[in-house]
Structure 1
Amino acid sequence: MKPTISTAASKIGSSLTLKIFAVCFVSTHIPLLALVIYLFWGFDNNPMPVLGAIVAATLVGTVFSLTAVWMLLRPLHEVAEAMKKYRAVGVVPQISSARSDEVGVVANGVTKLIADLDATLSQLRVQASTDMLTGLGNRRWMKEIGTLEVIRAARENEVVSIIVFDLDHFKSINDEFGHEIGDRVLIAAGATIEQNLRPYDAAARIGGEEFCVVLPRTSAQDAVAVAERLRKSLAVQTVPPLVAGRVTASFGVYCGDARNQTLEDMMAAADQQLYAAKKAGRNTVHWGSANPKDDSMRGRR
């Protein structure tokens, strides 16, 4: 007998349908059971007391049925609310159910599915904003982060500087030694950039061999010093089979006016300085500034 009862209980515990059937069966038979018990104990069998007992038992059965069904379906309501919250604010639901019936399976499955989806989306966002070769940001990321930094600088009335540079004669490295060596040079350049910047500076690879750095709260003089440090660090990089000093870069620096210029304006001005550095023989730093007072530091690179 015990194994049979245990097996039946296990089946009911793992089946929402059987649970609902059981609730419906019990709730609909409560009035009948109440009437049988009422008459069995010899209470007054006049119509009105009997009717009152039946009505009371019916109310009890109704309350029991509604409460039981609500408890059975409550996890689905929690999952639905969690999905709405995730879509609204991106909060991953932390719902788990110990139930083994269909509702428990759906609740746990949806929760895990949303968590997996969120992890995948986070990974895709990182991939969409990261240059996979150097580990730096890409052009799209630089546009978003750089624009936010310019807006912040305008709001707080602070300066912001831009460095744009590209590797000298990079095409000839690819042509002579192959793209694998060219990739190693780019990786080395990315590592050099990360080693020479502050934690709150933003750096990205915005083209084949072109890089951009946004320097918050950095004057023209300090930005030129950062560019010189990068230039010297790159010049001593050794990427076999390239000879020492083969990896160099030309730099354009621009200290902008965040209240009157956009990120694109500043990058364009830095690009002009970069072209000037190339015309001057490469492996050098040229700079400009929106502040006329910075002209006093001309010639002190």
Structure 2
Amino acid sequence: MIPTPATSLGAMRHSLLAKIFGTCFLAIHLPLIAIILYLGSGFSTHHPGPVLGVLLGATLAGTIACLWLLWRFFAPLRHLARAIEHYQAEGAPIRLQISRKDEIGTVTRAVVNMVAEVESLMKSLRHQASSDPLTGLHNRRWLAERIPVEQARAAREKSPLSAILFDLDHFKQINDRHGHDTGDHVLMAVSEAVRDSLRRYDIAARIGGEEFCLILPRTSKQEATVIAERLRQTFEVLVVKPLPHGRVTASFGVYEAASSDSMQQILLHADQALYAAKEGGRNRVFALDRTPV
């Protein structure tokens, strides 16, 4: 089959080698083509000056055209290199519109897609590492990273920061009598109630089997106590079959952090308040005043 001009042009668009070959061929032969056109136009060849001028002009034009076309051919790689540097420095996603169909276009698209897949995988892994798979709430590891951030923000804003620890009452008995599936349903129902009750900037994490922690920015001890009481009442009316009505209850410990408290001290004070709530009969809220440990 004899290739037509259309098929040859299509091959050029899809082959970097064909583009480079065509560019170099044109640049090398442009002086010869210029001389042929010069002679074919009937100009005199008795004086070498015009002939040399045509040769030099055609050589310069061919060189400039060759360099410009090669610069255009490799432009996607330059854009990709800058995008990757920006991604490495700032984590910005790579967004490139690639219409080229040659090898450079194929490689560029492949790299962009691979980076997008790696970023999606890393995002999924970060989510898995920082969240509880059963409840969807954050986990203790994420909480340990987040509390110092919220403390620093509270210090800058000179605003209160409170913590609530709560523990489901007699949760082991639910697992022992009704099975772990029922226990899982209780944990999921409680987590859903927590998500529905908190504000968008509040933080909720499951930090143990049946133990949860809430970090409440811009919230005083009194306000946190109201929130804890509202959650306590919400849990009391949860319906999780086959448990009887009112079986899901929790004990709450509330503590408003001092500016000098470390994360460990915040959790320790909240845990002391939680212990006092359990000692007081469970299914209740206890708020601890700021006192030295």
The answer to whether the superposition gives a TM-score over 0.5 is yes
1:156 aligns with 2:157: yes
What letter is aligned with 2:132? D
State the superposition RMSD in angstroms. 2.0
- Amino acid of the structure 2 residue aligned with 1:35: I
Name the SS of the counterpart of 1:223 in structure 2.
Answer: helix
Looking at structure 2, the residues matched to 68 and 248 of structure 1 have their Cα atoms a distance apart, in angstroms, of: 74
Which one-letter code corresponds to 1:9 in the other structure?
L
Structure 2 residue aligned with 1:262: 262
* Rounded Cα–Cα distance in structure 1 between residues aligned with 2:93 and 2:158: 38
Q: Does 1:67 align with 2:71?
A: no
The separation in 1 between residues aligned to 2:257 and 2:86, in whole angstroms, is: 41
Mean CA deviation greater in 76-85 or 192-201: 192-201
CA contact (8 A) 1:96 1:107 kept: no
**CA contact under 8 A between 1:96 and 1:108: conserved in structure 2?**
no
The aligned residue for residue 166 of structure 2 is 165
- In the alignment, the residues of structure 1 paired with residue 149 and residue 168 of structure 2 have an alpha-carbon distance, to the nearest angstrom, of 27
Find the aligned partners of 1:289 and 1:216 in 2 and give their Cα distance. Answer: 18
Gaps of 5+ in 2: none
Q: Distance in 2 between matches of 1:237 and 1:267?
A: 27
Q: So what's the TM-score if we normalise by structure 2?
A: 0.93
Q: TM-score normalized by structure 1? A: 0.90
Partner in structure 1 of residue 11 of structure 2:
11
**What is the rounded CA distance, in whole Å, between the counterparts of 1:23 and 1:37 in structure 2?**
20
Secondary structure of 2:166's aligned partner = strand
Does 1:114 find its partner at 2:125?
no
List structure 1 runs of 4+ shifted beyond 6 angstroms.
none
CA shift for structure 1 position 136: 1.4
CA drift at 1:117: 2.6
Matches for 1:123-162 after TM superposition, within 5 Å: 123-162=124-163
User: Equivalents in 1 of 2:43, 2:3: separation in Å?
Assistant: 39
Equivalent position SS for 1:213: strand
**Pairwise mapping of residues 111-260 of structure 1 onto structure 2 (< 5 A)?**
111-257=112-258, 259-260=259-260
The number of residue pairs the alignment matches comes to: 291
Cα gap change, 1:78 to 1:72, in 2 (>3 Å): same
Matching residue of 1:92: 93
| In structure 2, distance between residues paired with 1:260 and 1:242 | 43
- Per-residue CA distance 1:65-100 (angstroms, 9 max, x = gap): 000111111111111111111111122122122221
Q: Could you say what secondary structure the match of 2:231 adopts?
A: helix
Gaps of 5+ in 1: 293-301
State the one-letter code of the partner of 1:40: G
2: distance between equivalents of 1:34 and 1:20? 21
- In 2, Cα distance between the equivalents of 1:4 and 1:231? 80
Task: Note the 1:33-48 alignment, pairs <5 A.
Answer: 33-45=33-45, 46-48=47-49
Q: Identify the range of structure 1 (113-122 vs 21-30) with the bigger mean alpha-carbon deviation.
A: 113-122
